[in-house]
């Protein structure tokens, strides 16, 4: 991921990956046919309507998995970089990701 200092582009890409990974993790327990349908749609971004997933997966399940995956992704991505930054910068990065996530990656309202 190369964003030339574009913090929003970096955050958006990281959180998009996190969202997809969380959704894929949750649909593994669905019946095979439904699971494969969701997996292919998510991987390929085929005009996929996420609201359909929230008819079979609760918002609470998603939020819990999303937070878990985000924590792991941040840990993996920053395990080499973050420790080299001053503590203030580390906190700034963490707060920005949380804020960006809350504004852009909460589940869509189910109808």
Structure tokens given for 4:
């030339």
pLDDT of residue 68: 93
pLDDT of residue 2: 52
pLDDT of residue 45: 67
pLDDT of residue 111: 46
Cα torsion angle, 23, 24, 29, 35, sign: positive
* Tens-level pLDDT at each residue, the chain (111 residues): 555 667 778 788 888 889 889 988 888 878 898 888 877 777 776 666 777 788 888 889 889 999 999 888 878 877 877 788 788 888 887 787 777 777 766 665 544
CA torsion, ordered 43, 22, 99, 87, to nearest 10 deg:
-110
pLDDT of residue 69: 94
Q: Decide if 69 contacts 14 (C-beta within 8 A).
A: no
User: What is the spatial distance between Cα 74 and Cα 82, in angstroms, rounded to a whole number?
Assistant: 9
Question: Strand, helix or coil at 8?
Answer: helix
Q: Is 47 left (phi over 0), alpha (psi -120 to 50) or beta?
A: left
């Amino acid at each position: 991921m190369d964003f030339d200092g574009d913090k929003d582009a970096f955050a958006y890409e990281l959180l998009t990956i996190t969202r997809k990974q969380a959704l894929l993790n949750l649909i593994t327990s669905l019946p095979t046919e439904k699971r494969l349908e969701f997996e292919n749609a998510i991987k390929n971004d085929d005009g996929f309507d996420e609201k359909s997933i929230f008819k079979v997966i609760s918002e609470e399940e998603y939020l819990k998995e999303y937070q878990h995956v985000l924590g792991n992704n941040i840990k993996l991505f920053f395990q080499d970089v973050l420790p080299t930054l001053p503590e203030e910068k580390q906190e700034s990065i963490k707060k920005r990701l949380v804020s960006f996530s809350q504004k852009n990656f909460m589940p869509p309202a189910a109808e």
